[in-house]
């Protein structure tokens, strides 16, 4: 009996460690102990690994080495950017308490801003999106107004659920025109799209290594020279006092190796993944009631993202049924998995809660193959049929249990 083929199509959640990253991590670990802040030989050796990795990351992303701050990943990077910049701008000018956000941001941004609202008197202005999830820079400019009370703008580079790419450079230009800095959550973009920090105009950029084949628990925040942040944690004063804590030399070495491999492969990998995505979308769109969401295939959409909603189904039920059939995908953000509520991204795009309930996200990565795509296409229709049958059965049982009231109907 042959083993069932497992099709992993949840790379937007996390992707496999690249061989180059594993090799770099093992090699750095094998060199022995060494705290990058220590002055002895082992510490200096670890410091060399950190600084060489910093230079590599900066070169790959169009930044200066001094603009790279190592963090534990995307969530910390987002929180450091938003809270640190908000406090710095507010402290310099108490009028600056307004944060301008797109309605489709990741919860690492949304929940951080909600915390600032509740505890530090921040005010939020929302920028809407169109039916594909894209922000209109003109609407952003209108929300910014003269910018005198605005602390910052945050606009993600590419959406983690529907894959829509945002006009970051245009948004940064509009923000800078009224003296407001812009942060971009580029966690889904780095390693999957050409990303040039300097050319983008963004003042801060968040990234996470495990999205492009690096280790979990390592990331970075790019901070444009001259941008002031209030640190979130106090300690040894590492990373120019912006982010205290002992640095993980093997982790950052592996991160730089993974990004180098991802960027080098990008000219061939992006069209390969786009072709696989289009093959997947062509297949799943044949399922009755399945609707593709997000931007049209092309430069406005992540090459590996395929998002659909399926009428008459719950996304969680479909995910379990597909998993049983050997296909691993998600309903949207892995950070919100298991939460029984419709996606805020889809609601912002104009879907009803009922439509949004049937969401499925298939995301491809560097290990994805045609066999994975074909397995997903083959499994979806039977899964949808079973999910609808189960839903109808539950509805029928609920109807039969409903009490009949005297004098009513």
Which active-site residues does the annotation give? 335
CB 192 within 8 A of CB 302: yes
What single DSSP character describes residue 300?
A: T
Instruction: With H, G, I as helix, E, B as strand and everything else as coil, classify residue 8.
Output: strand
Q: Could you tell me which of 78, 77, 126 has the C-alpha nearest to residue 101? A: 126
| Beta bridge partners of residue 70, listed in sequence order | 220
Exposure letters 263-279 (e unless 16+ CB within 10 A, then b): beebeebbeebbebbeb
Rounded to a whole number, what is the distance in angstroms from the first to the last CA of the chain?
Answer: 57
Burial class (CB in 10 A: 0-12, 13-18, 19+), 213: buried
Q: How far is CA 209 from CA 48, 189, 253, 370, 392, in A?
A: 20, 11, 11, 25, 43
Instruction: With H, G, I as helix, E, B as strand and everything else as coil, classify residue 112.
Output: helix
Q: Where are the alpha helices (DSSP H) in 285-367?
A: 315-324, 344-348, 353-357
Name the CA radius of gyration of the chain, rounded: 23
CB 254 within 8 A of CB 22: yes
């Amino acid at each position: 009996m042959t083993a069932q083929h497992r099709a992993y199509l949840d790379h937007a959640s996390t992707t496999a460690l690249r061989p180059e990253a594993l090799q770099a991590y093992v090699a750095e670990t094998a060199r022995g102990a060494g705290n990058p802040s220590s002055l002895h030989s082992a510490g200096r050796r670890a410091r060399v690994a950190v600084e060489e990795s910093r230079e590599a990351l900066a070169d790959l992303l169009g930044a200066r080495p001094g603009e790279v701050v190592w963090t534990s990943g995307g969530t910390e990077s987002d929180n450091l950017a938003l809270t640190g910049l908000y406090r710095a701008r507010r402290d310099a000018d108490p009028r600056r308490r307004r944060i301008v956000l797109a309605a489709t941001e990741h919860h690492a941004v949304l929940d951080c801003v909600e915390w600032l609202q509740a505890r530090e008197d921040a005010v939020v202005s929302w920028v809407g999106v169109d039916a594909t999830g894209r922000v209109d820079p003109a609407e952003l400019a209108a929300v910014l107004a003269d910018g005198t009370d605005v602390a910052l703008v945050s606009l993600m580079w590419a959406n983690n659920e529907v894959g829509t790419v945002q006009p970051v450079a245009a948004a940064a230009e509009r923000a800078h025109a009224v003296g407001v800095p812009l942060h971009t959550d580029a966690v889904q973009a780095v390693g999957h799209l050409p990303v040039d920090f300097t050319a983008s105009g963004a003042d801060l950029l968040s990234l996470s290594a495990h999205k492009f084949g690096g280790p979990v628990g390592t990331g970075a925040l790019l901070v444009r020279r001259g941008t002031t942040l209030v640190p979130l944690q106090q300690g040894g004063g590492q990373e120019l006092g912006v982010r205290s804590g002992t640095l993980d030399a093997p982790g950052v070495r592996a991160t730089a190796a993974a990004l180098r491999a991802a960027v080098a492969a990008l000219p061939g990998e992006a069209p390969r993944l786009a072709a696989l995505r289009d093959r997947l979308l062509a297949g799943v769109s044949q399922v009755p009631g399945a609707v593709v969401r997000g931007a049209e295939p092309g430069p406005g959409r992540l090459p590996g993202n395929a998002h659909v909603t399926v009428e008459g189904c719950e996304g969680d039920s479909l995910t379990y049924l597909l998993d049983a059939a050997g296909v691993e995908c998600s309903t949207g953000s892995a950070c919100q998995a298991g939460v029984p509520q419709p996606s805020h991204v889809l609601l912002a795009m104009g879907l009803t809660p009922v439509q949004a309930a049937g969401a499925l996200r298939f995301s491809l990565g560097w290990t994805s193959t045609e066999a994975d795509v074909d397995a997903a296409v083959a499994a979806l229709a039977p899964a949808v049929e079973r999910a609808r049958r189960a839903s109808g059965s539950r509805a029928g049982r609920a109807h039969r249990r409903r009490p009949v009231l005297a004098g009513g109907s």
